Structure 1
Amino acid sequence: MSFPLPLGELDATAMLDLMRRDEVSAVEVIDAHLAMVAGHGAALRAIVTQDAESARSTARKIDEARREGAPGRALSGIPMTVKDSFDVRGMRTTHGRLSDAHVALEDAPAVARARAAGAVLYGKTNVPVLLADYQSTNPDFGRTLNPWDPERTPGGSSGGAAAAIAAGLSALELGSELSGSIRMPSAWCGVFGHRPSNGVVSKMGHLPWATDGLIEPPVSVAGPMARSARDLRLAFEVFAGPARLDAVGWRLDLPPSRVDELRGTRVGLWIDEPAAPIDDEMRMALLDLADKLRAAGCTVDELTSPPGAGASGLELFDRLQAAEIAHSLTDEDWDALVVAASDNDAAENTTARALTQSVRAAWQDAEAQRAITAAWGSVFDRFDVVLAPAVPGAAPLHDERPTAERTLTVAGTEHPAFDVVSAWGRLVNLAMLPSTVIPMGPGADSGMPLGAQLIGPYLEDRTPLRVAELLEREQIVRFAPPQEW
């Protein structure tokens, strides 16, 4: 290699092209990333665990295979990080604290797919304790900074992932989310992210779920994060598929994208949602993007009150979320919650009752969720994708207060911070719909990245991914590296 690799400007697809043309080797690509992480990138505290020796060994084998004329794989030589809560063979796994860390003996299923596709897995990215925050900070690994502004959070719980992708420390990432943890940090760091339809990408091998468990979590998902829409699609196709017991007989057969050009694509514009307020800067950016879509030949019409919208939808999602979380509680925590649930004067009574709900109530909520997913089918009789905010506005400042004490002012009204930043993510997750985050560029007032989401029909992940790729191809949306990165 006779030139420095501009890591923040190259996406994974461009790196693959350089390696296929023998302009750079896989070893040189991983060495450039490792040097960046150890140098300028260290200030972000985005990457908390590395295995440089294994990564270089993998890269050397890929270079040798390429010289011998072996056919390349989908991700051959691409440096990739993984959210710290996923198992990566030979690396430490945590969910934001060292007290219950372990060294993984095998890859999580989605990680194994990436490795089989030739990804060079070299690091793990920072998360909040128990993944339970919209910031990515913890006592053991410190606070991850947003590469656009170190005074602001990159988001959570996949915040280290988004910061690493935006700053060029990693080319691809495997993230996860329960209530917006892929889309929120993607939006706040100006990168692309995809929340798959439930069950399409395995989330086994992920804390705090038992990493050797044999069932998929019913509400949360795993998905890719990247610097381009084309990379996002590439990674999604690698990660998607059944795992463990299901892989014996199940095969994934997702339908192709409904559209292959912007002209004629039907877009629903969902902006006004009382349960999920947005600020004026976000509203202006979305309306401007809608105008650009119309100019590109899309039809754009307003969508109001879709299935599951409103406060009742958020309440249902919170109960579903609690039912999932209950599965990963320790026996000690469970016993304490049972006691608190029976004590109406206990401070944690409401939370305890949600976490110890009856099996019958949980099944009723699951049935209600499926009814909402089915009802969205009528929305997608009218539209191919729905354009909506991913978050209420730009990334907020770091806040050291306990989560329950934080507030954010949106459109002149003060709200509990976590509730308002996660509202758009929770409403979409309730319906189990695929959603692709697209960067809209810096806000007119904040100068910080703003992100929208393209919501697609259930199990039609390739439609929002394709629309994002078409928008990128027409340069209507694109990743722009932060200054100094």
Structure 2
Amino acid sequence: MSVALEDATLAVLASRLRSGHLRSAELVEGCLARIESERDLNAVVERDAGGARRAAREADRLLRTDAAAAGPLCGLPVTVKRTFEVLGYPHLEQDVAPGTEFGRPATRDAAVVAAARTAGAIVVGRTNAPPRAADIDTWHPAFGRTTHPAGPGLSPGGSSGGSAAAVAAGHTTFDIASDDAGSARIPAQLCGVYALRPTLGAISAFGHVPGPLTDAEAPGTLCVSLITRHAADLGFLWRALGPGAAGGASGPVAVVLTDRGAPMSPAVGETLRAAVARLRSAGHRIDDVDLPVDLAENWLLCQQLLYTDENPADDDLEGAHGLPEPTSDATPIEIAWWCAGLSPRRRHGLRCARAALRARWQQFFAGYTALLTPVMGLAALAPRNRRVPLLVDDVVIDGADVPTFSLSVWCALASVAGLPAATMPVRDPVTGTAAAFQVLAGHGREAALLDVVERLSAALADPAPSRRGGS
């Protein structure tokens, strides 16, 4: 791929493919060559070069002979987070829950991968992820560590760190990732790219490992997510892969940048405040508001939902070892212990609390099209010491030790309520500090959300990420 093509949006690439000014084979070869020449990044860890080349030739033939029959993504290379089943690719023991079959090549595509292929996308490989997608960094015992495009001293985040790094480095035109409590949104911020976590269940997560066992099973907090280089690419993909919804942005946008339950580095806070000021100067109405939910209590509920999803219910237990019910200042490991073997009655209580929070958000978004918050309180992360379990690990924010897992506290707003949310990267033009807004909208309002992201990104005029050497 030439630099011009790297900078092109998906819509432009698709148009060039249909006009004959570009061939899918060129795009695929460019991606494969870059993956091979930049193997130190270790983002795309499984490849099927032969299958991708054959699919590219078929896409070029279809576009040449019957373009009207080609899907909207025809000829575009895509990578897939390796937590998704992709026909012929195996899952390893570290990736699955105990008792689940492993080591076999997948005999089917995950639902979203099948949808992408039907739309014409070409799978060139799978991107790295930690075992069971359970870390905020990206390291796998079989594939090693994924490095940040800016260098090995930085982490691309997790668990979709391979996905975000591959997109930022130009190893793919977009990536199909997943998100529980920020698994796509946090890596997108760290790598300076865009991510969309749709309304819970809007895109089937069937075929994600671990994940729902049937297409009808409730997904808990797990969402299929999309990672791209450009704001406009999210809307392009949503129209191709989403269920479809009319209506762009029409109302005001709200913003919340600080909360007692979320420590933040001064650099991130200053960068986001400066970006809001720039947006207001450009004529955008951005209202300062209070959150409709308590951020710390919401984070506590998010952890309880995540941990109970990991553990089977026990009719005889009210909480592991009779531990007292955790409060919002409990550590992640304390909450996890309490959730072990949680009774059905307690689980029902968590579902009721979640429903109540959803109702508050519904009322909030009756008055606002979107809400801007931070994605997380740090601009960058160092690679984690993999010998330290995530739930007992700490990071330092503004001189204070903070549980590493609690970096997801802002992302948990969308995860608990099932709201659509996007990562919108920003960079301070004076200091160069990179951060990102999380942009949330009401249930099923992806079209409005992505319209806001595209308009605000254009107003901030932030460029797409440099391919290597910067984020």
Instruction: Report the TM-score, using the length of structure 2 for normalisation.
Output: 0.89
Q: 1:66 aligns with which of 63, 66, 82?
A: 63
The residue number in structure 2 matching 1:215 is: 217
Q: Displacement of 1:312 after TM fit?
A: 1.8
Using the alignment, how far apart are the partners of 1:95 and 1:391 within structure 2?
Answer: 31
- The Cα RMSD (Å) is 2.7
SS at match of 1:451: strand
Q: Answer yes or no: is the 8 Å Cα contact 2:194–2:423 preserved in 1.
A: yes
2:11 pairs with one of 10, 13, 32: 13
Q: Structure 2: where are the runs of 5+ without partners?
A: 325-331
Q: In 2 relative to 1, CA 30–387 (structure 1 residues): closer, same or farther, beyond 3 Å?
A: same
- CA deviation after TM superposition for structure 1 residue 238, in Å: 2.6
Q: Is the 8 A contact 2:95 2:210 kept in 1?
A: no
Deviations 1:73-114 (A, max 9, x none): 211110000110001112224586599343111111111110
Q: Distance in 2 between matches of 1:423 and 1:350?
A: 14
Report sequence identity in percent.
27
Q: Is the 8 A contact 2:317 2:343 kept in 1?
A: no
Compared with structure 1, are the counterparts of its residues 466 and 228 closer, same or farther at alpha carbon in structure 2 (3 Å cutoff)?
same
Structure 1: tracts of 5 or more residues without a match? 242-252, 260-264, 328-333
Find the counterpart in structure 1 of residue 45 from structure 2. Answer: 48
Greater shift after overlay, 403-412 or 108-117? 403-412
**What CA distance in whole angstroms lies between the structure 2 residues aligned with 1:476 and 1:384?**
21
Measured in 2, the distance between the counterparts of 1:432 and 1:67 equals: 42
Secondary structure of 1:234's match? helix
- Aligned twin of 1:249: none
- Which of the numbers 396, 402, 407 marks the counterpart of 1:409? 396
Cα distance in structure 1, aligned partners of 2:119 and 2:394: 43
The answer to whether the aligner puts 1:188 opposite 2:190 as a matched pair is: yes
Counterparts of 2:2 and 2:363 in 1: how far apart (Å)? 51
Partner of 1:15, secondary structure, is helix
Instruction: Tell me which residue corresponds to 2:266.
Output: 280
Q: Which residue of 1 aligns with 2:425?
A: 439
Residue 172 of structure 1 is matched in structure 2 by 174
- Cα deviations across residues 129-155 of structure 1 (Å, max 9, x unaligned)? 221110001221111011023211101
* CA–CA distance in structure 1, aligned partners of residues 338 and 139 of structure 2: 28
Q: Is the contact made by 1:341 and 1:350 (CA closer than 8 Å) also made in structure 2?
A: no
* Change in 2 beyond 3 A, CA 1:349/1:342: farther
- Alpha-carbon shift at residue 443 of structure 1 (Å): 8.2
In 1: Cα distance, 2:241 partner to 2:94 partner: 24
How far residue 316 of structure 1 moved from its aligned partner, in angstroms, is 1.4
Question: 1:285: Cα distance to partner?
Answer: 1.4
Q: Distance in 2 between matches of 1:295 and 1:381?
A: 26
**Pair 475,273 (structure 1): closer, same or farther in 2 beyond 3 Å:** closer
Contact 1:7–1:169 (CA<8 Å) still a contact in 2? no
- Count of paired positions: 455
Residue in 2 that maps onto 1:141? 143
Deviation of 1:338 (Å): 7.7
Q: Does structure 1 retain, via aligned residues, the 8 Å contact 2:319–2:342?
A: no
**1:48 maps to amino acid:** V
1:309–1:427 CA contact under 8 A, matched in 2: no
Secondary structure (helix, strand or coil) at the match of 1:174 reads strand
Q: CA offsets per residue over residues 138-187 of structure 1, 9 Å max, x none?
A: 22111101102321110100000000000000111111111100100001
Counterparts in 2 of 1:7-406, with a 5 A limit?
8-39=6-37, 41-71=38-68, 72-94=70-92, 97=95, 100-209=102-211, 214-241=216-243, 254-259=245-250, 265-304=251-290, 306-326=291-311, 341-342=320-321, 351-400=336-385, 401-402=387-388, 403-406=390-393
2:411 corresponds to: 425
Deviation at 1:18, TM superposition (A): 2.4
1: CA distance between counterparts of 2:213 and 2:240? 21
In the aligned structure 2, how far is the partner of 1:349 from the partner of 1:394? 27
Say if 1:475 and 1:94 are closer, same or farther in 2 by CA, change over 3 A.
farther
Aligned-pair CA distance for 1:483: 4.3
AA matched with 2:418 = M
Q: Retained in 1: the 8 A contact 2:147–2:154?
A: yes
